[in-house]
Amino acid sequence: MADALLELQGVSRAYRSAAGEVVVLKEVSLRIDAGEFIAIIGPSGSGKSTLMNILGCLDRPTEGSYRVDGAATEQMSPDQLARLRREHFGFIFQRYNLMENLSATENVALPAVYAGVEADARTARARRLLETLGLGERTTNRPSQLSGGQQQRVSIARSLMNGGAIVLADEPTGALDHASGQQVMAELKRLHGQGHTVILVTHDAAIAAHASRVIEIADGRVVADRHERGQAVRQHADAPGRTPTVAAERRARIDAMHEATRMAIRSMLAHRLRTLLTMLGIIIG
Ligand SMILES: Nc1ncnc2c1ncn2[C@@H]1O[C@H](COP(=O)(O)OP(=O)(O)O)[C@@H](O)[C@H]1O
Ligand SMILES: [Mg+2]
């Protein structure tokens, strides 16, 4: 059998607290293949976000192993993990996590800074992505000038900036009205149709019904894993050129430093330090 795209074996995640160790994810084993559309459901506090963060290499298991595209993540350095993240994953959050002081285009282009894409190419790709998400008229708008649904579509565009072969969406419709939520789901379905692997967290059964596989979590354990209908599409997403040259990597590092500094200043001025740290955690690792 071919390697799974994502494979968790006996994964646990514990937190130390004043009261002692709390295990919030308990011996989770999962195999996820390319092209699946998965909903992770479960009550609040059951460990869904913890699982998503491990899947996206934003967090690491305290026990067990996690392989991405056949590569074991346990021994990877923070730099290697950051590279793995930007080459495989796109992230969508309930609260969009856009930078208030950047335009829609700049927000979308951000993840490419570290991937070694030149500024003009970044901007062009970001604009194209915004157009495909119906935001061609909004490219210069700041997040505060956009509705919640539009902001979430900007964040979907951002998740695709480096290819986003695997899209991880944690409660992507949680802050949206029904109509905007439906629009976001339509976009995620469209991405799945194009070959992206989509994994979304929700506690809304109607949202989960869009997925072809539903994994149910309760108290840190997988308690059900159902294939809802049909076979998963097995094809790879069309990622943009992903093997940066040495020159591109060097340029990326310089660009990223420059951009990060510029954004850090602008962001701190705008009191968005927390968002900035989250973003930098994702993009730069
Ligand atoms: N950094 C942390 N430190 C301690 N406990 C945490 C931390 N993050 C999450 N938890 C706990 O882990 C459990 C699962 O959290 P989470 O994965 O966010 O659940 P869900 O996304 O399903 O609502 C919760 O009880 C939460 O309080
Ligand atoms: Mg959560």
CB-ligand 1 contact for 44 (6 Å cutoff): yes
Q: What is the mean pLDDT of the chain?
A: 87
Q: Which residue has the tokens 């992505």?
A: 129
Cα(52) to centroid(ligand 2), Å: 9
CB-ligand 1 contact for 47 (6 Å cutoff): yes
Residue 257 has a pLDDT of: 66
Q: Which of 24, 55, 60, 221 to mutate to test the pocket of ligand 1 (most atoms within 8 A of CB)?
A: 24
What are the chain's domains?
A: 6-283 (3.40.50.300)
DSSP string, 157-192: HHHTTT--SEEEEESTTTTS-HHHHHHHHHHHHHHH
Q: Which residues contact 71 (CB under 8 A, 6 or more apart)?
A: 84
Strands (E), 6-62: 6-17, 20-32, 37-41
Q: d(Cα 115, Cα 138) in Å, to the nearest integer?
A: 25
Q: What is the DSSP letter of 232?
A: P
Q: Which residues surround ligand 2, an ion (CB under 5 A)?
A: 48-49
Q: Which of 11, 16, 50, 171 to mutate to test the pocket of ligand 1 (most atoms within 8 A of CB)?
A: 50
* Ligand approaching nearest to the C-alpha of 40: 1
Q: Over the stretch 51-80, which tens digit does the pLDDT of each residue have?
A: 999 999 999 999 999 999 999 999 999 999
Q: Strand, coil or helix: what is 40?
A: strand
Asked if 176 and 148 touch (Cβ cutoff 8 Å), the reply is yes
> Of all protein residues, whose CA lies closest to atom 20 belonging to ligand 1?
45
Atom in ligand 1 nearest the alpha carbon of residue 50: 17
Cross-strand partners of 9: 65
Asked if 14 and 22 touch (Cβ cutoff 8 Å), the reply is yes
Q: d(Cα 267, Cα 164) in Å, to the nearest integer?
A: 25
Q: Over the stretch 108-162, which tens digit does the pLDDT of each residue have?
A: 999 998 788 899 999 999 999 999 999 999 999 999 999 999 999 999 999 999 9
CB-ligand 1 contact for 16 (6 Å cutoff): no
